[in-house]
Structure 1
Amino acid sequence: MTASEDRLYDLMPMLYRMRDAEQGYPLRDFLRVLSRQANVMEQDITRLYDNWFIETCDDWVVPYIGDLLGYSLLPEAATLGEQADAAALGRVLAPRADVANTIDARRRKGTLSLLEDLARDAAGWPARAVEFHRLLGWTQHLDHQHPHRGGTTDVRRPGRMQRIAWANGAFDALAHAVDVRRMGSKHRRGRFGIPDVAVFACRLRSYPVSTTPAYCLEERGPHCFTFSVLGNDTPLFQRPVSEASPTHIANEINLPVPLRRYRFAQRGARADYASASPELYGEGKSVLIYAPDWPAKGQGLPVPIELLMPADLSDWHYQVPRGRVAVDPERGRMMFPANQRPKHGVWVSYQYGFAADLGGGEYPRLTPELQDATRYIVHAALPDHDPTKAALPAGHYASIADALAAWTAAKTATPSLRALIIELAESGIYEGSIDLQLAAGEAIQLRAAERTRPVLRLLDVRASQPDALSVGGGAGSRLVLDGLLIVGRGVEVHGPTDDDNAASAQQDVCEVVIRHCTLVPGWSLHCDCGPKRPSEPSITLDGTSAALQVERSIVGAISVISPARRGDPPSLRLCDSIVDATDVERVAIGAPDEAVAYVAASISRCTVIGQVQLHSVSLAEDSIFAGPVRALRRQEGCVRFCYIAPGSRTPQRFHCQPDLAMSAEPAAQRTQEQWRVTPLFRSLRYGTPDYARLADACCEEIRKGASDESAMGVYHHLYEPQREANLALRLEEYVPADTDAGILYAS
Structure 2
Amino acid sequence: MSPLYELLPVIHQRRDAEQGYPLKQLMAVLDEQVGVVRQDIAQLYANWFIETCQDWAVPYLGDLVGYEPVHEAGEPGPVDTREGRLRNRFLIPRRAVANAVRDRRRKGTLAILEDLSRDVADWPARAVEFYKLLAWNQHLNHQRLWRGGTADLRRGEVLDLVDGPFDRLAHTVDVRRIDSGHGIGRFNIPSVGLYVWRLGSYPVTETPAYCLEEVGSQCYLFSVLGNDTPLFNKPQPEPSPTHIADELNLPVPIRRRAFESPVLVDGKLDHVEASTAYYAPSAEDTKSLAIWAPDWPKKGAPQPLPAPLIVPADLTDWTYRTVKGTVAVDPVLGRIVFPTGQLPKRGVRVSYRYGFSADMGGGEYRRTLRNPLGHKLYRVGANEDYTTLLAALGAWMAERADQPTAVVEVQESGVYTESLNLDLRAGESLQIRGASGTRPVLRLLDLQADMPDAFSVTGARGSRFSLDGFIVTGRGLRIYGPDPSTPIPAADAAKPTDPGDLCEVALRHCTLVPGWGLQCDCDPKHPNEASLELDNTQACIRIEHCILGSIYVVADEVKLDPVSIHIRDSIVDATSDDRVALGSATLPAAYARVSFIRSTVFGQVQTHAIELAENSLFTSTVRVARRQVGCMRFCHVPSGSRTPRRYHCQPDLAIQALGKNPPPADVALAREQMAPRFMSRRYGQPAYGQLAEGCAQELRRGADDESEMGAFHDLFQPQRAANLRVRLDEFTPAGMEAGILFAN
Report TM bin, short chain.
over 0.9
Gaps of 5+ in 2: none
Alignment-mate amino acid for residue 704 of structure 1: R
CA contact (8 A) 1:273 1:310 kept: no
Q: Structure 2 matches for 1:105-504, cutoff 5 A?
A: 105-165=103-163, 169-269=164-264, 270-271=268-269, 274-282=272-280, 283-379=285-381, 387=382, 396-411=385-400, 415-497=401-483, 498-501=485-488, 503=493
* 1:378 CA drift (Å): 1.4
Separation in structure 2 between the aligned mates of residue 568 and residue 246 of structure 1, nearest angstrom: 62
Moved more, 370-379 or 692-701: 370-379
Shift of 1:36: 2.5
- Preserved CA contact (<8 Å) 1:290 1:300: no
1:73 aligns with one of 69, 72, 77: 69
Q: Distance in 2 between matches of 1:468 and 1:567?
A: 24
Q: 1:645 offset after TM fit, Å?
A: 1.2
Whether the 8 Å contact between 2:76 and 2:88 is mirrored in structure 1 is no
CA offset at residue 416 of structure 1? 3.0
Letter of the aligned partner of 1:424 in structure 2?
V
Residue type at the aligned position of 1:725: A
- Contact 1:151–1:173 at 8 Å: present in 2 too? no
Decide which moves more: 496-505 or 522-531.
496-505
Q: Is 661-670 or 135-144 further displaced after alignment?
A: 135-144
The answer to whether the Cα contact below 8 Å between 2:200 and 2:356 also exists between their aligned partners in 1 is yes
Structure 1 distance, partners of 2:331, 2:555, is 47
The alignment partner of 2:530 has SS state of coil
Structure 2 partner of 1:48: 44
Aligned partner (choices 486, 508, 525) of residue 532 of structure 1: 525
Question: 1:401 is aligned with what amino acid?
Answer: L
Describe the superposition over 1:8-63 as per-residue Cα deviations: whole angstroms up to 9, x where unpaired. 11333444333312211121122123222222221221121111111111112111
- Give the SS at the match of 2:714: helix
For 2:29 and 2:498, locate their aligned partners in 1 and report how far apart those are by CA, in whole Å: 48
Residue 586 of structure 1 pairs with residue 574 of structure 2: no
**Is it true that 1:665 corresponds to 2:658 in the alignment?**
yes
Deviation of 1:146 after TM superposition, in Å, equals 3.1
SS in 1 for 2:707: coil
Shift of the alpha carbon at 1:79? 5.4
1:99 is paired with a residue whose SS is helix
CA distance in 2, matches of 1:621, 1:633: 18
Partner of 2:5: 9
Equivalent position amino acid for 2:725 in 1? A
Residue identity opposite 1:420 in structure 2: A
User: Is contact 1:420-1:443 (8 Å) kept?
Assistant: yes
**Paired residue for 1:384?**
none
Q: Is the 8 A contact 2:136 2:148 kept in 1?
A: no
Aligned partner of 1:343: which letter?
Answer: K
Kindly state the Cα deviation for residue 300 of structure 1 after the two structures are TM-superposed.
Answer: 4.8
- Pairing of 1:598-747 with structure 2 (within 5 A): 598-666=591-659, 667-668=662-663, 669-747=666-744
Structure 2 counterpart of 1:275, one-letter code: E
Mapped to 2, the partners of 1:536 and 1:334 lie a distance apart of: 30
Q: Deviations over 1:622-660 (max 9, x none)?
A: 000111001111112110000001111110000000001
Query: Which string of whole-angstrom CA distances, capped at 9 and with x for unpartnered residues, describes residues 693-737 of structure 1?
Result: 100110101010000000000000000000000000000001112
Give the corresponding residue for 1:558.
551
CA deviation after TM superposition for structure 1 residue 356, in Å:
0.4
68-77 or 647-656, which moves further after superposition? Answer: 68-77
- Does the CA contact (< 8 Å) of 2:74 and 2:706 recur in 1? no
* Distance across 1 between alignment mates of 2:75 and 2:148: 45
Q: When the two structures are superposed, what TM-score results if normalisation uses the length of structure 1?
A: 0.95
- Residue 31 of structure 1 is matched in structure 2 by 27
Equivalences, count: 724
Aligned to 1:383: none
RMSD: 1.5
Counterpart-to-counterpart distance in 2, 1:399 and 1:30: 50
By how many angstroms is 1:158 displaced?
A: 1.6
Instruction: Note if contact 1:126-1:201 (Cα within 8 Å) is conserved in structure 2.
Output: yes
Deviations 1:193-244 (CA, angstroms, capped at 9, x unpaired)? 0000000000000000000000000000000000000110000000000101
Instruction: For residues 375-424 of structure 1, give each alpha carbon's deviation from its aligned partner in whole angstroms, at most 9, with x where no partner exists.
Output: 11112xxxxxxx5xxxx66xx1121111111112122xxx2311111111
* Alpha-carbon distance between aligned partners in 2 of 1:560 and 1:56, rounded to the nearest angstrom: 48
More deviation in 365-374 or 603-612?
365-374
Whether the 8 Å CA contact 2:74–2:719 is kept in 1: the answer is no
Shift of 1:313: 0.2
Give the aligned residue type for 2:431: Q
* C-alpha contact (below 8 Å) 1:704/1:711 kept by paired residues: yes
Range with bigger deviation, 359-368 or 497-506: 497-506
Residues 505, 580 of structure 1: alpha-carbon distance in 2 compared, 3 angstrom cutoff: farther
1:29 and 1:408 map into 2 onto residues whose CA distance is 40
Q: CA deviation at 1:564?
A: 6.5
Cα distance in structure 1, aligned partners of 2:160 and 2:609: 52
Aligned residue for 2:14, secondary structure, equals: helix
> Aligned partners of 1:273 and 1:179: how far apart in 2?
41
1:208, 1:534 → 2: CA distance?
Answer: 28
Asked whether the equivalents of residues 468 and 507 of structure 2 are also in contact (C-alpha less than 8 Å), the reply is: yes
Structure 1 residues 123-160: Cα deviation after superposition (integer angstroms, max 9, x where no partner): 00000000001111112234433344353333333221
Aligned equivalents of 2:311 and 2:148: distance in 1? 30
The one-letter amino acid paired with 1:462 is Q
**Counterpart residue identity of residue 487, structure 2:** D
Output the CA distance in 1 between the equivalents of 2:338 and 2:255.
21
What is the DSSP-based 3-state SS (H/G/I as helix, E as strand, rest coil) of the residue aligned with 1:583?
coil
TM-score by length of 2: 0.95
Percent identity, aligned pairs only, is: 52
User: What is the rounded CA distance, in whole Å, between the counterparts of 2:391 and 2:364 in structure 1?
Assistant: 25
Partner of 1:726, secondary structure, is helix
Distance in 2 (CA, whole Å) between partners of 1:272 and 1:683 is 41
